[in-house]
C-alpha cells in the first residue's frame, strides 16, 4: 500500500538527516505502533507520509504510484494525519464534524445520517455540539478531532499521540473503535504513542525509530528458548522499554553537556 525505499530527509539549513535510509512496506490492514524517543523522527515520518514534507532522496509510493504524481489534496484524503493540536477553524463542534462531508458535496440527508452515526459512535454529548474550540478542554478537542478524521473512513490513518489528552476510559474506547474499523474496513493505522501499554494493546507490528534510522523489528522479537531462534509474531515490549530508556538517558546527557558549555 505504502512503500518507502531508501528514503532520506535532510534539514535544508543544517543538512542534518531527520530520516536516513528508511525502507519500509506498509500493507493494507496493518496496525503499526511507531515507537522512538523524543526527536527520533516519528512526527517527521508522518509528515512525509501525509505529503507535508518531501524526501531529499529515495522512493516513496502509495498504491504503486509515486507521491510526486499524486496531488496533495487527493493524497491527504486517502492518508489522513491527526496531530495533537486540534483546530476547529472557528466552527462549532457540529460544523467541524460535518465539514469533511460538506467538502465531499454529499447530499444533506447523507451528511446528517453520517454525522449522527459518528456522533453516536464516539458518544459525543449533545452539549458539546454547539461549542467552539475555546469552550472545549484539550481532551475534548482531541476527541472531536479523532471523530472528524474517521468520519470519511480514509484507507490510511496517521495518529500522532492520539491519547495524550485522553483519560483511560476514552483511551480504551478509542482503541476499540480503531480495532473495529481496522477489522471491518481493513483500514491501515499507524499510531505514535509514548504509552507502551497502549501501543502493545493496539498494534500488530511496530516501526521503531532512533535518530532518524529504522531498527528492524527482528531486534525486538522474543527468542524461542528451545530453538534459540526469533519467533515470527511476539514482540518483546520489555526490550523496547529498556532501549527507549537508554536512548532517553543519552539524549538527556547530551542536552546537559550542550547547555553547560
Can you give the pLDDT at residue 257?
66
pLDDT tens by residue, 13-26: 998 999 999 999 99
pLDDT tens by residue, 65-110: 999 999 999 999 999 999 988 999 899 999 999 999 999 999 999 9
The pLDDT-based confidence of 230 (bands split at 50, 70, 90) is: very low
Looking at every residue in the chain, the average pLDDT score rounds to 91
The pLDDT-based confidence of 176 (bands split at 50, 70, 90) is: very high
Can you give the pLDDT at residue 99?
96
d(CA 113, CA 127): 19
pLDDT tens by residue, 194-209: 899 999 999 998 999 9
Can you give the pLDDT at residue 94?
98
pLDDT of residue 261 exceeding 80: no
Beta strands per DSSP E along the chain:
2-10, 17-26, 31-35, 57-62, 65-66, 79-82, 156-160, 188-192, 205-210, 213-215, 221-224, 229-235
Q: Which residue has the cell 512503500?
A: 3
Q: Measured between alpha carbons, how far is residue 112 from residues 65, 115, 143 in Å?
A: 34, 5, 20
Q: Which residue has the cell 525502507?
A: 23
pLDDT of residue 232 exceeding 60: no
Q: Which three cell numbers stand for residue 134?
A: 475555546
The pLDDT-based confidence of 121 (bands split at 50, 70, 90) is: very high
Q: Which residue has the cell 531508501?
A: 6
Average pLDDT over residues 43-47: 96
Regarding predicted confidence, which is higher, 223 or 246?
Answer: 246
Amino acid at each position: 500500500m505504502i512503500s518507502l525505499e531508501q528514503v532520506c530527509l535532510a534539514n535544508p539549513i543544517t543538512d542534518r538527516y531527520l530520516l536516513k535510509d528508511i525502507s519500509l512496506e506498509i500493507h493494507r490492514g496493518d496496525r503499526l505502533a511507531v515507537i522512538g524517543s523524543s526527536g527520533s523522527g516519528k512526527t517527521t515520518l508522518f509528515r512525509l507520509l501525509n505529503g507535508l514534507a518531501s524526501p531529499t532522496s529515495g522512493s516513496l509510493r502509495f498504491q504503486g504510484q509515486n507521491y510526486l504524481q499524486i496531488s496533495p489534496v487527493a493524497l491527504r484524503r486517502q492518508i489522513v494525519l491527526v496531530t495533537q493540536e486540534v483546530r476547529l477553524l472557528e466552527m462549532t463542534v457540529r460544523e467541524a464534524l460535518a465539514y469533511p462531508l460538506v467538502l465531499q458535496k454529499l447530499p444533506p440527508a447523507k451528511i446528517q445520517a453520517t454525522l449522527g452515526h459518528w456522533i453516536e459512535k464516539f458518544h459525543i454529548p449533545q452539549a458539546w455540539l454547539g461549542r467552539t474550540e475555546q469552550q472545549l478542554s484539550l481532551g475534548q478537542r482531541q476527541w472531536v478531532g479523532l471523530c472528524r478524521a474517521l468520519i470519511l473512513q480514509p484507507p490510511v490513518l496517521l495518529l500522532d499521540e492520539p491519547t495524550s489528552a485522553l483519560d483511560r476510559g476514552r483511551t480504551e474506547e478509542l482503541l476499540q473503535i480503531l480495532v473495529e474499523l481496522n477489522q471491518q474496513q481493513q483500514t491501515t493505522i499507524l499510531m505514535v504513542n509514548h504509552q507502551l501499554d497502549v501501543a502493545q494493546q493496539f498494534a500488530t507490528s511496530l516501526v521503531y525509530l532512533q535518530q532518524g534510522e529504522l531498527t528492524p523489528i527482528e531486534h525486538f522479537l522474543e527468542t524461542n528458548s528451545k530453538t534459540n531462534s526469533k519467533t515470527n509474531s511476539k514482540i518483546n515490549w520489555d526490550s523496547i522499554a529498556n532501549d527507549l530508556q537508554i536512548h532517553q538517558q543519552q539524549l538527556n546527557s547530551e542536552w546537559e553537556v550542550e547547555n553547560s558549555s
